[in-house]
Amino acid sequence: MSIVQSEGRSGVHPGWHEALHAELVRRNPGEPEFHQAALEVLETLAPVLAARPEFAEARIVERICEPERQIIFRVPWQDDSGAIRVNRGFRVEFNSALGPYKGGLRFHSSVNLGIVKFLGFEQIFKNSLTGLNIGGGKGGSDFDPHGRSDAEVMRFCQSFMTELYRHLGEHTDVPAGDIGVGGREIGYLFGQYRRITNRWEAGVLTGKGLDWGGSKARTEATGYGNVLFTEEMLKRRGEEFDGRQVTVSGSGNVAIYTIEKAQALGAHVLTCSDSGGYVVDEKGIDLPLLQEIKEVERGRISEYAERRGSSARYVAGGSVWDVPCDVALPSATQNELGADAARTLVRNGVKAVSEGANMPATPEAVTLLKEAGVAFGPGKAANAGGVATSALEMRQNSAREAWSFERAEGELAAIMRNIHDTCYETAERFGLPGDYVAGANIAGFERVADAMLAQGLI
């Protein structure tokens, strides 16, 4: 079904987004996360399509939902015992209207084409909101680095890059890290890229080591950025972070630096979690202890409670969102915060929920939170600090510069304030005050759509 009304009538067909979503599901079977991400955007675009009929006439929405390129490849490697292993690699180059494809690589057993497409689709709008010239893409593999030796991770990364390198370049596609891909993995990937191409092309990967082209704020950027976005939402309501009870899910990079920034702003952070359960620390999370366990020892969150003392308790399984709070910052993975959790948060008086992870709240949860008047920061806006700082790392690499931490953090803070204000003002402009989901989707879409129109039918 066409978005545009037929038989000479102007405007947008009333059932366009349901029909377009149904067609998208038909053409992309078995990819529920991608279907979910697309529907969340499609449901909010009617106002902008009505105001800008040229977008509908040029089939911008249909074109933006179809990746420009989808790459799937075999990754053979050898483990420490000499056994040959075979994994699958992915890179979805979704949209390059604004610049080279930009988005992380995820190494986790759950990775499949649908997961990568959902992440890449979200990345289009997230990258657009930064105001920087970066397109949207994502990639990864069903390889899980947990429990693997450094040598095994190196051999896998070298095999992965041996295929992927031909699709990359600082003017083409610039990956970064995501779940399962940290500084170690980026180092091995960059080394293999350099070995194959005979080019020291720093801008081809971001999240690099500080001694060889990395940005001093990149590690902290996603967590810091989400807290800064949340702070702006609270300010709009005449409130502040200082003294707030905060719950955080996850215990990886995003969660750790979310906790650090929230504590710096005076918040009392009570929780963190991993796949086994969560901890509640009435004294507030001891960040150095958490970092020692998760970043150095690569241990489980249950060990935190054992070593912290009487103020902390570990809850196996369950929901971290059962803990009463003023601000909730989901920072683990997609669809971790469902309808029941949203009801519990609302019942316990939560004031703001902001997504540090990609799509951690289900559609039902988002609806419940918004209906209850909770300030809700969607991931494509709230966690854009990571990719924004990656683009700043690209800028430093291009100029052969190394910024101070203070300069990089200052640039990040300015970008996050601008993203917040853009989302807020766009929602106001389309008669949807306070709806950050609609504001983020429309603002991100408009910038990409204008570029696609300007560049012709490609």
Annotated catalytic residue, options 126, 138, 216, 351: 138
DSSP-derived secondary structure letter, 449: H
The C-alpha atoms of residue 13 and residue 3 are separated, in whole angstroms, by: 5
Q: Are 126 and 102 in contact (CB under 8 A)?
A: no
The C-alpha atoms of residue 103 and residue 122 are separated, in whole angstroms, by: 10
138 is a catalytic site residue: yes
- CA torsion sign for 288, 290, 293, 294 is negative
Q: Who contacts 347 (Cβ-Cβ below 8 Å, separation ≥6)?
A: none
Residue 228 corresponds to which amino acid? Answer: L
For the annotated catalytic residues, the residue numbers are 138
